[in-house]
Amino acid sequence: MKLWLKLMNQETTPTPKKRIFSGVQPTGNLTIGNYLGAIKNWTALQNDYECIYCVVNQHAITVRQDPAHLRRATYETLAVYLAAGLDPEKNTLFIQSHVPAHAELAWVLNCYTMFGELSRMTQFKDKSAKHADNINAGLFTYPVLMAADILLYQANLVPVGIDQKQHVELTRDIANRFNAIFPDTFTIPEPYLPRTGTKIASLQDPTKKMSKSDENENATVRILDDKDTIIRKFKRAVTDSDSVVRYGEEKPGISNLMTIYSCFTGKDFAEIEKEFDGKGYGDFKMAVGEACADALTPVRTRFQELMADKAYLESIAKAGAEHAAYIARKTLSKVYRKVGFVEFKA
């Protein structure tokens, strides 16, 4: 090759892609909050970033789970990743317990995380209030396992909902503390919050987050709900006594529906206000229901196909875990060396 051509090629060598890591707990029955706040946005990242997404089944057992249910929910979460459009050729998709380095690094990081820091985590406080009969040590050290998830892959960005931002900030603190003692060990990650749809609220109490575990079925729209169910839930959504479709703090119910409608249609709030100018809430709710149901129909169909093909899901999980384990091993060996663990000589 001619020298000038070589130089030109060197100059156009692309800089390595930034790495993204995130995870979803397999606690079943994902809602449109999980879909719009997380998984749907991830599909837009798959070309520009190196993306790694994990089904965090080890986090799930910090609250009691039925084993059969957990097993099924783990495959379901993987199937939702795929059905939502994450291409397994472009993204690494895997199950946390398949890569032992997560638990191994979590132990080391436990020794670099302070009791006081963990006590201040709002999710820990909320969950211990909710599960007062089972405030186990895993619930307390949950954020350390999450830090291990992220730091093992030297992730630059961590897409999460606003409720997980505090955990990513703790991850940064742990990484900085470790790096101050053992330089150049971890990449410091940043939380990556989506623009809209970060926080989809309950349809029955729009001041609360839409939660997978809400006891009132009308409060949540599930990714796998059928069209009739979706429309019925939107028709029953709690709004206010006014009748103007307008975005504003004093109208949390309508604002939430506008956010959902905006996420599914790509229209902004001004366009939506204009579209429903002079029309009542009934028309608006119907339109939101239709937009949501239409967008989710292909996802549900693909999900059902995937759930019927266990062998395929297993092959995706296996390939994902092999690739993840390769990256994770490198970080873990470095950490083991730095803290002074002697090498295992076979």
212 is catalytic: yes
* Residue 291 binds ligand TRP, judged by CB under 6 A: no
Stretch that binds ligand TRP, among 64-72, 142-150, 308-316, 319-327 (CB under 6 A): 142-150
3-state DSSP assignment of residue 24: strand
Nearer to ligand TRP, 151 or 291 (CB): 151
Q: Which of 212, 279, 330, 334 is catalytic?
A: 212
Nearer to ligand TRP, 35 or 281 (CB): 35
Note every long-range contact of 297-306, with CB atoms under 8 Å and residues 24 or more positions apart, other chains counting: 297/227, 299/35, 299/80, 299/83, 299/84, 299/223, 300/83, 300/223, 300/224, 300/226, 302/82, 302/83, 303/76, 303/79, 303/80, 303/83, 303/223, 303/224, 306/79, 306/82, 306/83
* Residue 59 binds ligand TRP, judged by CB under 6 A: yes
Q: Which of 18, 165, 199, 209 is catalytic?
A: 209
Residues in region 145-164 near ligand TRP by CB under 6 A:
146, 149-150, 158, 160, 164
6 is catalytic: no
The DSSP string of 94-147 is EEGGG-THHHHHHHHHHTTS-HHHHHT-HHHHHHHHHTTT---HHHHHHHHHHH
Nearer to ligand TRP, 109 or 257 (CB): 109
**Other C-beta atoms lying within 10 Å of the C-beta of residue 242:** 11
127 is catalytic: yes
What is the tally of helices (H) and strands (E) in the chain? Answer: 15, 5
* Stretch 3-22: interaction string toward ligand TRP, x if CB under 6 A: ------------------xx
For ligand TRP, the binding residue among 19, 20, 25, 289 (CB under 6 A) is 25
Mind telling me the catalytic residues?
127, 209, 212
Query: Where does this chain bind ligand TRP (CB under 6 A)?
Result: 21-23, 25, 56, 59, 146, 149-150, 158, 160, 164, 167
